[in-house]
Structure 1
């Protein structure tokens, strides 16, 4: 991911570095990610594992469409950072950050804003996003489109009543933020009281130390030490360290579970329960290679609310991996933790409200559940 941050998602099919990445990942003995006939392909590389993740453009429609925020119409064009700018690729620089050294903040281009087009853009997005931003925006997009609510909503079929503080738009918008903070607390318990998992940045330091003869780490798997990506990193940067997208490297709390992924799981679960997941999003779009404009999506895949909600969760969680601060399983397992938080909150709401209501949703593993 670090070596391919600047490759446009729309160029994955023909880019040689993406083809090499897919080929190496296919050779790994325990790589748990989507494959076609047992192989990772440019069409599946770096994607999540749900059906929605594997359909259509890499980036979810909820990260591309304009957001109607009250009387504001907000295009999702983001500030960007310089192409090819990676950090902590020298051992002394890396060690200084491990010891708490301060670094200048990354410089962002606030003038030439772009749609999310590659891994570096996505990494920059999750460097500065408000934690539930993508899902609040998704809720606003769906409300603006008039997407139908789930059939269990008590007001969906009423001719003379509408939901508002309960089972209406205001209820949903506050619920997305409510589950976000609960998910974050669940994550922090896992991080500090259960796992205390090493960050990829720190593990990259061990790989570099071992291959450079600074220190012996005999437990590092040979598939890591012999990795083509590790060798290419040495050629490009002069070290075996994992190139970071952020000058300060990883956050100072443990890797598992990913806070972004847990919040994504909780928020997306609420949104999938609230709306009709099967509703088709019309006129899908994709950014051009430079991210300066949106173009119509020309593929054959039908993009649904449920599929694109799963995809936005994967996009945000994967973006943290693309930045170099999380592992893939920090994403794939943490969204399920967030899912449990979201379902628990939905159960509470069904119990305490006066209306007779229910929610149906598709879990990340494909099972249908009813609350």
Structure 2
């Protein structure tokens, strides 16, 4: 009887469930019918219907893609060193296995080259490594992007040759940067070693850094080549001033290494690092945070920063200056009723800075891995050491071998290796162009497009010699344009101070990043409803561009 009662209740429940289900289905059909009716009576307003807006969006996207596609395809020549030296002494090979001279194992190198040539992911997994360090994302060199120029559609000048006077001067500059890392920028004009470095750099026949009256001085030493680099303190205001970070202010005091500690100055350690081994020591840090006051501090800043940190910080500072710092072309400056935000305002500018950083890296990685594969300064330092100790004979320019920087390094360390600021040395990707420079070039260009380059920066400051405080600076007026250029140079050439890049890596990397930003701005210029005439700003070479 119990089971029959249960069965009866189950049957009754199922019947009631079916009735409820039928009613629910009828209700849903009515709701769907009402929703379809509402959709057919769309409430959108505006100059375009949804279909028209979709069609226009498609036209803008295809026009931008067609513009980029129809640009002349440039050549991407290299300097020829890869063919000139079959043992690849002029090419990057760090993290692959090497012999006792630090020359790459050619079997391993050829597998790496085959992987790069074919783009086959499986071959990349077969590349022999010399230690525990892995290659840094070489397959990014094939990446496509949906905004701005295709990475393979941009080009660069060829870097200096292995035996050239130009690379000799760049290597000597890196030696001098290593020897002077702990000298405060504020004391450059009075420091004897800085004066000696400037005099030595003046002797090079093809040094392409800034000069004063044809010679390198303490006021031009280690600075960049852009307009603004020689005006005011060495460090840009955007690496000194407090950063408005949401609801708080961030002081730009950073963790800095202790002085007089350099790395990879013994040959055994140098060879270990070239093979991708683990460093034998770590950086020791000062317990007190400091403002960037010397080359070692700057080198560490560009050691621990994230991709677009320099541009993000600078943009936050610029936005805090208010509307008066915006460029005259901003369509909202003359509006009586509106301000920019999603377009021509903070949200838009910050987004473009982040966007341009990654796309600039794509362009850099194409050049690094698929075109140039230039060796790093630390690798060149091994060539210098082995040449001067008669271990072998390399075609190194005599201007470098006979300069004062070489002898000073040997007197201090007992080798001719380049003293490095990082225990692990350079990253495991090739040298030309510098990724930091490309990011800085793109980000700074974006900011020039949206801010008034002639705007005078209020209350400029300079770090004290000990880096514990900021001092007021009043010698010269500093502009947004000049200090953005200086920021780009600080970031790119700060990597030279650490020993991981050449001057030409940074100078040309800035220009490549600039080209990426200009391409992105071109793609976006037709996406606005505002009455906007176009972007106008100054390039790193001093010329004016209108997008």
Mapped to 2, the partners of 1:237 and 1:108 lie a distance apart of 19
Gaps of 5+ in 1: none
Mapped to 2, the partners of 1:246 and 1:21 lie a distance apart of 22
Match of 2:344 in 1: 167
Which region of structure 1 is more displaced relative to structure 2, 344-353 or 178-187? 344-353
Whether 1:15 aligns to 2:177 is no
Superposed displacement of residue 135, structure 1: 0.8
Match of 2:481 in 1: 306
Mapped to 1, the partners of 2:276 and 2:251 lie a distance apart of 37
Q: Does structure 2 retain, via aligned residues, the 8 Å contact 1:80–1:113?
A: yes
Whether 1:273 aligns to 2:449 is yes
Mapped to 2, the partners of 1:333 and 1:178 lie a distance apart of 20
Whether 1:33 aligns to 2:209 is yes
Whether 1:369 aligns to 2:545 is yes
Mapped to 2, the partners of 1:108 and 1:363 lie a distance apart of 39
Match of 1:348 in 2: 523
Q: 2:328 aligns with which of 140, 151, 172?
A: 151
Query: 1:250-296 CA distances to partner (integer Å, 9 max, x unpaired)?
Result: 11111000000011110000001110100001211101100000001
Mapped to 2, the partners of 1:126 and 1:302 lie a distance apart of 27
Q: 1:286 aligns with which of 430, 455, 462?
A: 462
Q: With structure 2 as the length reference, what TM-score do the two structures score?
A: 0.66
Q: 2:355 aligns with which of 178, 184, 187?
A: 178
Superposed displacement of residue 108, structure 1: 4.9
Mapped to 2, the partners of 1:230 and 1:241 lie a distance apart of 9
Rate the CA distance shift 1:209–1:273 in 2: closer, same or farther, 3 A.
Answer: same
Whether 1:262 aligns to 2:405 is no
Superposed displacement of residue 359, structure 1: 1.2
Whether 1:81 aligns to 2:257 is yes
Query: 1:209-240 CA distances to partner (integer Å, 9 max, x unpaired)?
Result: 000111111x1000111111011000001100
Q: Cα RMSD between the aligned structures? A: 1.1
Match of 1:226 in 2: 402
Whether 1:53 aligns to 2:233 is no
Query: 1:17-50 CA distances to partner (integer Å, 9 max, x unpaired)?
Result: 1101110111100001111111000001000112
Q: With structure 1 as the length reference, what TM-score do the two structures score?
A: 0.98
Task: Find the structure with the greater CA-based Rg.
Answer: 2
Q: 2:377 aligns with which of 200, 206, 210?
A: 200
Match of 1:96 in 2: 272
Superposed displacement of residue 96, structure 1: 0.6
Whether 1:297 aligns to 2:467 is no
Superposed displacement of residue 241, structure 1: 0.2
Whether 1:70 aligns to 2:246 is yes
Mapped to 1, the partners of 2:403 and 2:376 lie a distance apart of 19
Mapped to 2, the partners of 1:184 and 1:123 lie a distance apart of 20
Q: Secondary structure at the match of 1:10?
A: helix
Q: Secondary structure at the match of 1:361?
A: strand
Q: Secondary structure at the match of 2:545?
A: strand
Superposed displacement of residue 148, structure 1: 2.2
Match of 1:332 in 2: 507
Superposed displacement of residue 104, structure 1: 5.6
Q: Does structure 2 retain, via aligned residues, the 8 Å contact 1:6–1:118?
A: yes
Which region of structure 1 is more displaced relative to structure 2, 96-105 or 233-242? 96-105
Q: Does structure 2 retain, via aligned residues, the 8 Å contact 1:350–1:356?
A: no
Match of 2:75 in 1: none
Q: Does structure 1 retain, via aligned residues, the 8 Å contact 2:269–2:280?
A: no
Q: Secondary structure at the match of 2:249?
A: strand
Mapped to 1, the partners of 2:335 and 2:341 lie a distance apart of 13
Q: Does structure 2 retain, via aligned residues, the 8 Å contact 1:79–1:108?
A: no
Superposed displacement of residue 351, structure 1: 1.8
Q: Does structure 1 retain, via aligned residues, the 8 Å contact 2:376–2:426?
A: yes
Gaps of 5+ in 2: 1-176
User: How many pairs align?
Assistant: 369
Report the structure, 1 or 2, having the larger helix content: 2
Rate the CA distance shift 1:110–1:230 in 2: closer, same or farther, 3 A.
Answer: closer
